[in-house]
Amino acid sequence: MKVGVFDSGLGGLTIVDAISKSFQGAQVFYIADTLFAPYGEKSREQILKHSLDVANYLIKTHEIDALVVACNTATSAAIKTLRASFPRLIVIGTEPGIKPAMQITSSKNIGVLATPATLSGEKYQLLLNDLSKEHDVKVHESACAGLVNQIENGRIEDKQTFKMLQKWLEPMKLNSVDTIVLGCTHYPLISKIIKDIMGAETMLIETGSAIAKRLKILSSQNGHTKQGSLEITVFYTGEIKKDMINMILNRWTDGGKIEVRDTYE
């Protein structure tokens, strides 16, 4: 089976990690669209165009059977169009794990860290409105402009990154937030810093395992037997820090063959 995965940068490799832990017998083609990063600060029209461009490339060049949109922002902007444009393709999106956060919070206060585009997107707003009718939980949001760039540039342990997170997280801490939704696939890479600020007992919700489970179910329905090894090829479209690629792959990818290429064009 051939699976395409894309994000505006390297954050979507957290999704690839989850897939690698439970999925075999497949080739994974991952595209970090760094030339256009970050998606979270672009218009919906721009994000939609790039999502369609990447999908068309993966279909024509690698003949993928499934597409994973490993980006909350791109999912919000493009998932409906992608599914309508490629009806024979398995298309799986990513959305913030608000529902599980609302189900497990004890304080009835949850936090959501996401990009500005995700928080303002129709998909997120509809999800939040629906769940708010079912759960008596207060949601504290922070639009983390600039955080993806910090992570992409390898400044995870940088003092500036800590200060940015502290600014967004301190109000949540004062409001007794005990569960935080990581609404961007980059954010699991800074989990330790978030817990350093909020406290080790704070629950962090990410969606990688749920996406991997969904891929297993849908691929099985299409006859995939999941036998054999997993091969991962990483492409990127613009400048990128290669040491960050190695760091994330070493941290997140468990087994399988890995190849990194300079460009997909």
Residue 261's nearest CA partner among 12, 66, 14, 34 is: 34
Nearest 10 degrees: Cα torsion 238, 243, 244, 247: 150
Nearest 10 degrees: Cα torsion 191, 34, 120, 72: -60
Cβ-in-10-Å burial (0-12, 13-18, 19+) of 199 comes to: exposed
- 8 A C-beta contact, residue 110 and residue 139: yes
Q: Among residues 184, 205, 240, 258, which one is catalytic? A: 184
Alpha helices in 89-186 (DSSP H): 98-104, 116-120, 122-134, 147-152, 159-174
Q: Among residues 5, 67, 69, 71, which one is catalytic? A: 71
How many angstroms separate the CA atoms of 92 and 172, rounded?
A: 31
Q: Is 184 a catalytic residue?
A: yes
Q: Is 144 a catalytic residue?
A: no
| 31: Cβ contacts below 8 Å, ≥ 6 apart | 4, 5, 6, 7, 54, 57, 58, 235, 236, 237, 264
Q: Which residues are catalytically annotated?
A: 71, 184
